[in-house]
């Protein structure tokens, strides 16, 4: 079986999506890139019934190599997301807080109310609404991730995170949901105070050494 390890890893993380509150039903999707191939969740399969054999393997042009079922309808934006620097895994969620922020009128990005914004390479942009599975949505995701961003929101839809491993991309999806929840609570209580560019640069420098030479906070 091609990409057996990646396919098994996708199943493990997919089964966490609902318990972790990142999706409902069969919403959301995951993929991992290995060289010029990627493994991606199939369309419409209950996560509890997912097995490594049902995770499809496709080329980077989207053609199937080893796939029993049709891939996620969002395969086009997964392929687009892999054009982001260093991306080797993509996580797409419909988590409540992130989706709620993505539905707010007038926002072009998630305001940087917490220094965790630095984990994402800067403020998270909100890609304009486009029909799911469309080439237009894929183009919007690619633009929103440009410049080293590791995540974005999709207007009236959900969220996307990318990283060098599936575990890291999944962790970013959880952090993004937390940040969106903090923003919504702050906005409900008063006027959110956003960090400026200098403060984010300082946080970026600190986080770069987190877990190695810098103490946590």
Catalytic positions are 74
CA distances from 150 to 55, 64, 84, 111, 124 (A): 24, 27, 8, 15, 8
Of 40, 34, 37, 42, the C-alpha closest to 88 is 34
Of 197, 42, 43, 175, the C-alpha closest to 120 is 175
| 217 token code pair | 């906070």
- How far apart are alpha carbons 80 and 66 in whole angstroms? 21
Of 24, 32, 11, 18, the C-alpha closest to 81 is 32
Which parts of 55-207 are beta strand (E)? 56-59, 64-66, 89-93, 126-127, 151-154, 158-163
Pairing label, strands 151-154, 56-59: unpaired
CA 174 from centroid of its chain's CA atoms: 9
- How far apart are alpha carbons 113 and 115 in whole angstroms? 7
Of 139, 161, 164, the C-alpha closest to 91 is 161
């Amino acid at each position: 079986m091609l990409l057996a390890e990646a396919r098994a890893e996708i199943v493990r993380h997919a089964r966490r999506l609902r318990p972790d509150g990142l999706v409902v039903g069969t919403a959301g999707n995951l993929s991992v890139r290995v060289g010029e191939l990627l493994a991606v969740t199939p369309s419409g399969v209950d996560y509890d019934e997912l097995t490594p054999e049902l995770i499809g393997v496709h080329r980077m042009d989207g053609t199937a190599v080893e796939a029993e079922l049709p891939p996620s309808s969002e395969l086009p934006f997964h392929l687009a997301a892999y054009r982001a620097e260093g991306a080797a895994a993509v996580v797409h969620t419909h988590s409540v807080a992130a989706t709620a922020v993505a539905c707010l009128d007038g926002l072009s990005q998630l305001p940087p109310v917490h220094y965790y914004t630095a984990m994402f390479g800067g403020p998270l942009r909100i890609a304009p609404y486009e029909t799911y599975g469309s080439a237009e949505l894929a183009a919007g995701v690619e633009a929103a991730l440009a410049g080293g961003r590791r995540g974005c929101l999709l207007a009236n839809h959900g969220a996307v995170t990318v990283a060098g491993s599936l575990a890291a991309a999944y962790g970013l999806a959880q952090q993004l949901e937390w940040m969106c929840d903090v923003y919504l609570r702050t906005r409900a209580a008063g006027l959110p105070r956003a960090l400026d560019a200098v403060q984010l640069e300082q946080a970026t420098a600190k986080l770069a050494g987190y877990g190695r030479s810098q103490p946590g906070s």
